[in-house]
Chain A
Amino acid sequence: MRSRRLLLNKIVLILSTLSAVLGLVFLSWILITLFIKGISSLDFSIFTNDLVDGGLKNLIFGQFFMALIATIIGVPLGMMAGIYLREYGNSTYANIIRDLSDIMMSAPSIVIGAFVFAVFVAPFGSINGWAGSIALAIMLIPIVVSTTDNMLSLVPKELREAGIALGGGKHQVILDIILKAAKVGLTTGILLAFARIIGETAPLLFTSGTNSFWTTDLSNAFPSLTVSIYNLANFPTDKARDLAWGASFILTVIVLIINLIGRFLTRDKG
């Protein structure tokens, strides 16, 4: 009996270890391939030339700029909604909103792209950077809602009561105390949400499109690193494919760095 149990334990241990190793093998395979192919196609001119001259400068800027505009649109909306859900909403109505927001979080990103195309591209007749930013903002909002909701729920209720007991109104206590207490968590959440949207392709594919030239005008087709990776990878020349590898490498490094900063912030707190 005892030996059977020990055997079973060993089998489960071996199987779960193998699964973990298998996952890590693929992850390192991706990263190593990316590193080798990416690094070999990297040279400094990539950062100084626009796509039209065989570089990525305008694409990197464009991707950041659209994600930044999306953050400026999405963070206030998402945070206010999150504050409403945690601090004011204890009704069925609030619970429905919370559920809808969670569903939005797992909505296929291509669907969000299609929706924004129908509403912000088709009526104006051309793809544009605003539409790209809005599509990214729509992806961002539910993430920020849920982060805010969760982070505020970690603030002990005694802190709210202490604020009220000093003669504060509910809104003053939220603005002056609760948000401050949740500051680190909220910053991290926003950073991770930013990292999430900066690597998106599908919402941009037919909203912002991409642009080979340098531009800061969001009313035109706007340079996008991810959409250009998609285009370049389908290009028949080796040079284009190398550039796609280089772009993928840079994108991965950017996302990795933002994630690491996020991790670092939370660890600092604990």
Chain B
Amino acid sequence: MAKELIMDIKDFSFKYAGAPKPSLVDINLPIYRNKVTAMIGPSGCGKSTLLRALNRIHDLYPGNEYKGEINLLNLETDNFENLLEIKKENEFIALRQRVGMIFQKPTPFPMSIFDNVAYGLKLAGIKDKNIVQEKVENALKGSAIWDEVKDRLKESAMGLSGGQQQRLCIARAVALKPEILLLDEPTSALDPISTGAIEELVSELKKDISIVIVTHNMQQASRLSDYTAFMYIGKLIEYNKTDKIFLNPQEKLTEDYVTGRFG
């Protein structure tokens, strides 16, 4: 496997507990390191389902079935490890610290702004107050929200605006220095100005972090991403560099979708 990849999804299929048919079938998708990969497709195509498999958050609900491989590069050994083989609780925790996730709706915890960012560090076992302080500050700065919150770190995070809350959630994930950040339609609940701020932040973050973003907004995918995967009814229809997908798609279905003929 080429080392410019951070993740490599091979022959991956996924079936929800109790569902008659699998929601994802034979997905093969590389995720390039320090690039933004966008997943697009109409509602119900499985793009969020795929994203949620990448940190195994599906395992919160029992009975789902995985097949195939999702290989994640271990930066220490330089080898790929199949994250579908994870069974132990502490391995799950380590996985989720390496693969962070941002949700559609901002999910600030009911605690202070500072504690929101410090919470993940606490879970990771970092206890030294000075280190926590420093990491929280860096994460907030790196998420372009420091100037807005530096004077109110002790105030409840619930008092922030939606866009600020979403950037706080990104700071919370970034504080753990993840290798990959999964974004599940991160701006669909936000106004255009907040959306712009998040998009700018994503472009900034990819210097250090590989990003996978699910989006309904094709302009967003074309603006932000280096690679784009188009999915339709549980299958990966086409994957390529973003400009190829949007300007010169190989598949008829992709062309119809990106030109707005259906979706």
Q: Contact residues of A with B, CB < 8 Å?
A: 90, 156, 158-170, 172, 176-177, 180-181, 183
Contacts and interface: CB of A to CB of B under 8 A. Distances in A.
Given A165-B101, A166-B176, A172-B123, A180 B109 contact: yes
A164 B57 contact: yes
Given A160-B60, A165-B55, A165-B103, 12 more contacts: A158-B107, A159-B107, A159-B109, A161-B101, A161-B107, A162-B101, A166-B172, A167-B120, A167-B123, A176-B119, A180-B109, A183-B110
Nearest to A90: B62
B172 A181 contact: no
Given A166-B172, A166-B173, A167-B93, A161 B103 contact: yes
A61 to B, nearest CB: 36
B100 interface: yes
Contacts of B169: 162
Contacts of B120: 166-167
B112 to A, nearest CB: 11
A31 to B, nearest CB: 39
A168 B123 contact: yes
A-B interface, 6 closest residue pairs, ranked by CB to CB distance from nearest: A162-B107, A165-B101, A166-B120, A167-B97, A167-B96, A167-B93
Contact of A158 (B62, B97, B105, B172): B105
Contacts of A180: 109-111
A101 to B, nearest CB: 23
A168 B124 CA distance: 8
Nearest to B172: A166
A210 to B, nearest CB: 43
Contacts of A162: 101, 103, 107, 109, 169
Contact of A169 (B55, B89, B94, B109): B89
Contacts of A159: 107, 109
Contacts of A167: 93-94, 96-97, 120, 123-124, 176
Contacts of B55: 165
B57 A161 contact: yes
Contacts of A168: 93, 123
Nearest to B122: A176
7 contacts: A156-B105, A160-B60, A161-B57, A163-B109, A165-B55, A167-B96, A177-B109
B177 to A, nearest CB: 12
Contacts of A166: 96-97, 100, 119-120, 123, 172-173, 176
A176 B121 CA distance: 14
Contacts of A90: 62
Given A177-B109, A180-B111, A169 B60 contact: no
Contacts of B89: 169
A165 B110 contact: no
Q: SS class of chain A's interface: helix, strand, loop or mixed?
A: helix
A158 B100 CA distance: 14
Contacts of A156: 105, 107
Contacts of B103: 158, 161-162, 165
A165 B57 contact: yes
B143 to A, nearest CB: 15
Interface in B168-188: 169, 172-173, 176
Contacts of A183: 110
B256 to A, nearest CB: 32
Contacts of A163: 109
B239 to A, nearest CB: 25
A165 B100 contact: yes
Interface in B50-69: 55, 57, 60, 62
Contacts of A172: 123
Contacts of B110: 177, 180-181, 183
A261 B51 CA distance: 45
Q: Which residue, B109, B172, B173, has most C-beta atoms of chain A within 10 A? A: B109
A262 to B, nearest CB: 20
A176 B176 CA distance: 18
Nearest to B52: A161
A180 B89 CA distance: 24
Contacts of A164: 57, 60, 96
A185 B191 CA distance: 30
Contacts of B109: 159, 162-163, 176-177, 180-181
Contacts of B119: 166, 176
A167 B100 CA distance: 9
Interface string B138-181: 00000000000000000000000000000001001100100000
Contacts of A169: 89, 93
Contacts of B60: 160-161, 164, 170
A155 to B, nearest CB: 9
A164, A180, A181, most chain B CB atoms within 10 A: A164
A159 B62 CA distance: 18
